[in-house]
Structure 1
């Protein structure tokens, strides 16, 4: 393999084509492998994913078809020292996010101080008045967090966005590792990689530690609430419930009984202490939100506020996913921790501000523009890869509703090789570490989900937009 001609930072190779230290053990092993063996193993990995049912649903087309998530067998490797620094930055950010959410639903001191303008909250659909004045059990709002990171240099990691509502993808992190260990067991004796397979056990323990007062005196009962089999992440909901030994439930399996939320079982109705919900706020309780919803359970918010159940993540945490809020994260971190951010934000222009909007409109061809509440790579413009017509159409959207957008520079994301028929070739990646929060502390899984843009030159890593995944390795000291 030769050094990529791209100007991006290559995580495996130095500028002269030599191997970076983190990849030395892997590359030594790789040189010993016959090319035909690697090609066969690549096909085996796809067959394993297909047999296991590791798929997702693609929305936005007529059939919302189910697709296999592409898996690439070249791992993404991070050394122990880099991971320690990243962990400190991630923990700082998650602590600040939790303190910020508590403040938003109580005294809003950050708004009173002038550090966060009131306009970013006013009329924000992710802010839930139903949570005002209420503190979740244990004071935890963000029980499971995914922090999306991008890298542009040796130690230049930046936070691209926060996922504090219902972060997904952890099942792919676990299946990627299981697949790699099944295909190349000898590789894990050569390279010491930190474990991720205990995540479900740690998740179950963390959720149980957040049980409400009503759970005192018995082992907390945990259940996973799914919208159902047609949801894009249903595989993950079922996988995590199974791995945790928790019940997988839908709204039709639940009812409010004697001030508790209970689930239907073969032995009758059983009260739930902690509900790991994978249903959006709007559909959680038809009495409090959308009356037509059949995905949640009527009255759950009353039980929640009375201390009869813990909902993870807490309703209203979606405000922290807002990309306009994201642009204030450096101020938010400093306000609640008294520290400068360890991990930087990507520079961001708020199109709601007239000067920023003017700059963005003048430079659309060079920028990435995103919807404030967007996700999955939908509703965005990547200026350098867009036609003049697409840019002109997007400019009209911006002028019509500037509050709905932020813009960022087009970053030169780092690359990690993927395995192709022609050999190894560099592709852009990001990283989503997963964080568990409980009154006992913050627990960060070593590594996370690496998403990779499989198309040459593409910067979009989302699976819904043609991206794939890799196993993420954090090396032991």
Structure 2
């Protein structure tokens, strides 16, 4: 079935050349030959149905309607040898540590700005910089980033590079566990010859990291009460919210379930009010508190910011994190690593052009058909130009957007994203992939082994986001020695 599979000039995760898999894929490749197309097709259908039955959906918003869909699943895993994973793990801890030090700095002494490493206007004019609301706070462990989702790609040489930092409300962790569950249920044969790092205790790690964020004025620091604050069932990541709250054993609440009295947050229960110490929020800053942010918000809790500022409740991820995961700030993360840690970045960025710079803007405008252009505030693959795949009309539209608001866009070379086989429609074909790695931080940092491998299932597409037709794969980190289970 892999006879028609094309390697081309892209780095392939699984194959060296036709009929020759990479050593860490050898067992998997041999097992594939035991299946017929019919059996694989049947298993593929069973896997998709499993997601549907469990209600694992996300919402795709168009101009007028929201449509619920299941995340398409592809059974060919991304397999990462242990030595590669150790480097990723070190690189992710290094990056998140520097980003956290940056957030602590810009909301306190602003040394990195005063020393001229990062332009002041890039911070102060950033729409996600909440100086008034978040400055000078003393938060547990000075930790602004409870959960980070760092997106990695591999270039044509197989080198890992960071594509994007997600430090506000990174989603997708539930899919990591559901992808593993489906693989074990539908393709149990594939696990027999692989010793894979387990996911079994990872949600306990997440829960432990969450519970270390006890606010200064908690009355029960030994047994703090934590909740997950969701915008509700119409949110595109609602399944993620439900799954994480259930698995961590904390209450899932909406804004209307909480109230603030005397600058203390309480949860309404059938037994009366219960004090809340820690809020893992999955609501954007603007909607958290109508008194402090958007007065029209009906999703948040009136008075929440005052309780936060007075040390009566902890909000994770921290308010104002968006200034650090802005796509324009991304280009400065290597400088942050050098400045705060006196180290070179373990995993480099993708080269980035600043369109507010006149020379770089001129170059980009002359090469729009070769580059990727992104809105610094957008996510999910929206408001993005992929030059080599774009029509002339679309390029002309982006030219006008850049000229009108150059500071709103960045540009990057079109990287030859690595590819891996996908099995859809009864055949194997190469699809581009990336990897979202989750880093949990509390008293210390921990990296979820593997992460969410996302795949651009539309043939030839470079966009892996589920909202743009992408799907998911299970991610296996091979153990070095000894026995393990998935």
- Same fold at TM > 0.5: yes
Separation (CA, whole Å) in 2 of partners of 1:470 and 1:214: 43
Match of 1:161 among 143, 148, 164: 164
What secondary structure sits across from 1:190 in the alignment?
A: coil
Deviations 1:402-442 (A, max 9, x none): 00000000010001111123422110000001010012x11
Do 1:349 and 1:408's aligned partners in 2 also have CA atoms closer than 8 Å?
Answer: yes
Structure 1 residue 16: Cα displacement = 5.2
Contact kept? 2:41, 2:426, Cα under 8 Å: no
Correspondences of 1:247-286 after superposition (within 5 Å): 247-286=251-290
1:468 aligns with 2:471: yes
- Distance, in Å, in 2 between the alignment partners of 1:292 and 1:186 is 53
Q: C-alpha deviations, 1:444-477, integer Å up to 9, x for none?
A: 0011001100011110101111111111111111
Distance 2:124 2:314 in 1: 27
Tell me the equivalent position of 2:458: 455
CA offsets per residue over residues 261-292 of structure 1, 9 Å max, x none? 11111211111111100000000011110111
Match of 2:416 among 412, 415, 422: 412
Instruction: Provide the rounded CA distance (Å) in 1 between the counterparts of 2:469 and 2:169.
Output: 22
Q: In 1, distance between residues paired with 2:474 and 2:193?
A: 16
SS of the counterpart of 1:461?
coil
More deviation, 193-202/318-327: 193-202
Task: Pick from 311, 317, 321 the counterpart of residue 325 of structure 2.
Answer: 321
- In structure 1, how many angstroms separate the alpha carbons of the residues matched to 2:376 and 2:425? 39
Q: Within 2, Cα distance between the matches of 1:448 and 1:424?
A: 23
Structure 1 runs, 4 residues or longer, greater than 6 Å off: none
1:299 matches 2:299: no
Secondary structure in 1 matching 2:421: strand
Q: Residue 44 of structure 1 aligns with which residue? A: 46
Please show how residues 432-447 of structure 1 align to structure 2 within 5 Å: 432-439=436-443, 441-447=444-450
Structure 1 gaps of 5+ residues are none
Shift of 1:319: 0.8
SS at match of 1:174: helix
Deviation at 1:5, TM superposition (A): 4.2
Alignment match of 2:142 (pick from 139, 143, 164)? 139
Taking the aligned partners of 2:221 and 2:207, their CA distance within structure 1 comes to 18
Mapping for residues 35-434 of structure 1, pairs under 5 Å:
35-129=37-131, 130-153=133-156, 155-215=158-218, 216-434=220-438
In the other structure, the counterpart of 2:483 is: none
Return the offset for 1:60: 2.8
Q: Kindly tell me: are residues 408 and 78 of structure 1, through their superposed partners in 2, closer, same or farther at Cα, counting changes over 3 Å?
A: same
Q: Greater CA deviation, 44-53 or 116-125?
A: 116-125
Quick one: distance in 1 between partners of 2:63 and 2:454? Answer: 23
Give the Cα separation in 2 of the matches to 1:6 and 1:99: 42
